[in-house]
Amino acid sequence: MWRSVRCMAVGLAGLAATAWGQEEPRAVQEIRRELASLPTYTVFDLVSFEYLKGTVVLGGYVTEPSLKRAAENAVKRVEGVEQVVNQIESLPNSISDDALRSELYRAIYRDSPLSRYGTADDSLTASRPRAHPWGRVADRPFSGMEPIGPHAIHVIVNRGNVMLAGVVDRLEDKQLAELKAKGVFGVRKVDNHVEVAGRAN
């Protein structure tokens, strides 16, 4: 169903330097900035990356194939990037999955305790809103893996199966997001990969 092990592993190599207190390479900061600026990147996509000695490995899931190409082209513009390996998976087109995405968004982001993790305007068609304040680099469980974009919790849907990924402030918020997702009619299974900032999960 999910290539979750591979997807979640993307970015772990880049964490090593951060874990030892070293500064994040400038190229990593630029890659993150380029991906965050992609206009079609939404809460229903998850793009992660690993950077090592000029090579970038892109991973994750996108709802539009054009976003896979756009992410690769954006990363290629970054100084210091010599090669891009694009392992992003395009999710299948599905009317039922699209309906689930809308219901899941409402269940998670219109609930008052979790709404603060969303955008300033909770419209699904809002123009690029503020970015989530991730805090210090050392607080990020996965350097390059935190969901880039304005939503702290990304909702990935594939044939009725749901993956939640991102970073929240409290364990209770992670648990509540899963509970809300499981309560949506039509959801077959929920894999909760949401991390709690500053905590080993």
Dump pLDDT digits (tens) for 34-80: 998 898 999 999 998 999 889 999 999 999 999 999 999 999 999 99
Mean pLDDT rounded to a whole number for the chain: 78
The three-state secondary structure class of 68 is: helix
Q: Which residue has the tokens 């010599």?
A: 82
Does some domain include residue 74? yes
The number of domains in the chain is 1
Question: Which residues span the domain enclosing 35?
Answer: 4-196
Output phi, psi for 70, to 5 deg. Answer: -65, -40
Does some domain include residue 28? yes
123 or 138: whose pLDDT is higher?
A: 123
Residue 163, number of CB atoms within 10 A of its CB: 23
Alpha-carbon span 178 to 181, nearest angstrom:
5
Does some domain include residue 26? yes
What pLDDT shows up at residue 127? 33
Please report, in angstroms and rounded to a whole number, the separation of the first and last CA atoms in the chain: 22
Alpha helices in the chain (DSSP H): 4-9, 12-19, 26-36, 65-76, 95-109, 112-115, 171-182
What pLDDT shows up at residue 20? 37
Does residue 157 have a pLDDT over 50? yes
Does some domain include residue 201? no
Helix 26-36 crosses helix 65-76 at what angle (to 10 degrees)?
Answer: 150
